[in-house]
Structure 1
Amino acid sequence: MNGASREALAAARESLDALTDNTSVDAAKLAEELAAVTALLQREVSLRRVLTDPSQAGEARAELAGRLLRGQVGGETVDLISGMVRSRWSQSRDLVDSVEELANIADLTAAQRGGDLDDVEDELFRFGRIVASDKELRAALTSRSASTAAKGQLLRSLLGGKARPATERVVTRLVTQPRGRSLEEGLESLSKLAADRRERMVAVVTSAVPLSDRQKERLGAALAKIYGRPMHLNLDVDPTVLGGIAVRVGDEVINGTISERLEEATRRMAG
């Protein structure tokens, strides 16, 4: 997103946080309604263009949004969307992306209130690993010829009763309404949002054998010291690394595996 849209999204996230700080607000219901607005704006291209038209006064755009949504969704959702369309947006699509992001944040907030956020983070990571290792499953979930209903049914068979409700909801939205994103990109974005709920960064840790609780504690503390923020560890076991660990934080990779050192030695010998 460009500057105007980034500022608008930041303001919308602050409004959402202020709203959901009130525990009387049903965050899961709010997420559902925001997701419905996302679907509406995705379908109605002309509507989202009108709602982001810089030639129209922000208050006029907000009044239009209120008239369209009032009675269809709750007052909190109307207020959030009205506030968003008052802002300036660099592109009309940025508004859709931002409303969807608020929906996901609201669902993660609901999980956090229920003490399930850690589990949701882990389930998102595990689901990503399952998809990455199963080409047929990935193809079924990303097929353009498969119906939304068929994808939803497949996800219910995979996640229903096995994952937290928030996990199932955000993954279902991602799969059934990808909006041009790859499944991997969408899952990574959801993981980052989940980590942000606790103001933590995410480190993907790959090791040849499972780490002990003591090792996880020491690694988490070391990474938190390096990056200056609490760190959530997503742990993956891969025997092919032979030994040591590989850590990825965002785009940065810290590789201390034996296989990496062997490859480096081979490259030097070949040179």
Structure 2
Amino acid sequence: MTAHGASREALAAARERVDALTDSTSVDAGRLADELAAVTALLDREVSLRRVLTDPAQAGEAKAELVQRLLAGQVGGEATDLLSGMVRSRWSQSRDLVDALEELANIADFTAAQRSGTLDDVEDELFRFARIVSSSIGLRAALTDRKATTSAKSELLRSLLGGRAAVVTERLVTRLVTAPRGRSLEAGLESLSRLAAERRDRTVAVVTSAVPLSDPQKQRLGAALAKLYGRRMHLNLDVDPEVVGGIRVRVGDELINGSIADRIEDAGRRMAS
């Protein structure tokens, strides 16, 4: 989510609240994710409702009371309290509230994966699935077909991911595919990968090499990139024999060509020696 002004501040506060909630082992992070996703779907459909909940002319407490009445018995107290706090904040656009809720649902799912020790698997599976989608025109068409039903897309994803990927991966991808909310599938998967890396306070580096990197090479490259960017790096690895210079590294919007990558590896070797 790209937030501006008031929405950025409101999102930051909401993320602090969801982090505080999911820090408690008594909170079922997976269930919270499902409930926040359900509320996201509700507000995505009900345009007039989300406008009321983000109307700056309405008192925050009155909006919070409306949330309590609407969601009573529908979702748990944690999800209700989160949304109640969010509607007390100011939002630049009503849609920003829905985008924020969706992000919180994803954060809760990544927290569930972290608790179960599968967060690394989820990160890697999201990356691999994105690569599969980008290389298969037929699969992408099936997953983005506006005429296909939600149940048909869900069943296709179950056949692809069920039993082969972490539960959280399947849940995240299914939500993205069945409720894209105007995004491309590729953009949604990239956003999920960034958020997964952020949960571990790391940045994703997409590394494409002409040949598979050895474990020592991966360790040196990871250490050198971490030193260069000042934070931990998660390497998503891909092999493409046609890569010029033998290796290409992309960190966010920044592309590092082969010659620079060679210098980074040299720096990593010097650090290891």
How does the TM-score come out when normalised to structure 2?
A: 0.93
Question: What residue number does 2:161 align with?
Answer: 159
- Whether 1:150 aligns to 2:159 is no
The equivalent position to 2:197 in structure 1, one of 185, 195, 198, is 195
Q: Give the 3-state SS of the residue equivalent to 1:102 in structure 2.
A: helix
The aligned residue for residue 39 of structure 1 is 41
Mark the runs of 5 or more structure 2 residues left unpaired by the alignment.
260-273
Counterpart secondary structure, 2:92: coil
- Distance of 1:214 and 1:48 partners within structure 2: 52
Aligned partner of 2:29: which letter?
A: A
Give the equivalent residue in structure 1 for 2:181.
179
* Alignment pair present for 1:122 and 2:124: yes
Other structure's SS at 1:241 match: coil
Aligned partner of 1:26 in structure 2 is 28
- Does 1:64 pair with 2:63? no
Contact 2:205/2:234, CA 8 A, preserved across alignment: yes
What secondary structure does 1:232 align onto? strand
Residue 14 of structure 1 corresponds to 16
Paired with 1:70 and 1:98, the residues of 2 have a C-alpha distance of 21
Question: After TM superposition, what 4+ stretches of structure 1 lie above 6 angstroms from structure 2?
Answer: none
Name the TM-score, length of structure 1 as normaliser: 0.94
SS of the aligned residue for 2:73 comes to coil
Using the alignment, how far apart are the partners of 1:95 and 1:66 within structure 2?
Answer: 17
Distance of 2:191 and 2:8 partners within structure 1: 16
1:228 equivalent in structure 2: 230
Structure 1 pair 249/242, CA: closer, same or farther in 2 (3 Å)? closer
Conserved? CA contact 2:245–2:257, under 8 Å: no
Contact (CA 8 Å) 2:244, 2:258: kept in 1 or not?
A: no
Is 2:126–2:193's contact at 8 Å kept on the other side of the alignment? yes
State the distance in 2 between where 1:214 and 1:23 align. Answer: 37
SS in 1 for 2:238: strand
Identity over aligned pairs, percent = 79
Matched, 1:240 2:265: no
CA distance in 2, matches of 1:241, 1:220: 19
1:239 is paired with a residue whose SS is coil
AA aligned to 1:47 is L
Counterpart amino acid of 1:75? G
Name the SS for the 2:242 alignment partner. helix
Match status 1:103 vs 2:105: yes
Aligned to 2:214: 212
**Contact 2:154 2:178 (8 Å CA) reproduced:** yes
Structure 1, unpaired ranges of 5+: 258-271
- Partner Cα distance (2:21, 2:84) in 1: 14
Q: Could you tell me which of 2, 5, 9 is aligned with 2:4? A: 2
The answer for the alignment partner of 2:267 in structure 1 is none
Which letter maps to 1:158? Answer: L
Look up the equivalent residue of 1:120 and give its one-letter code. V
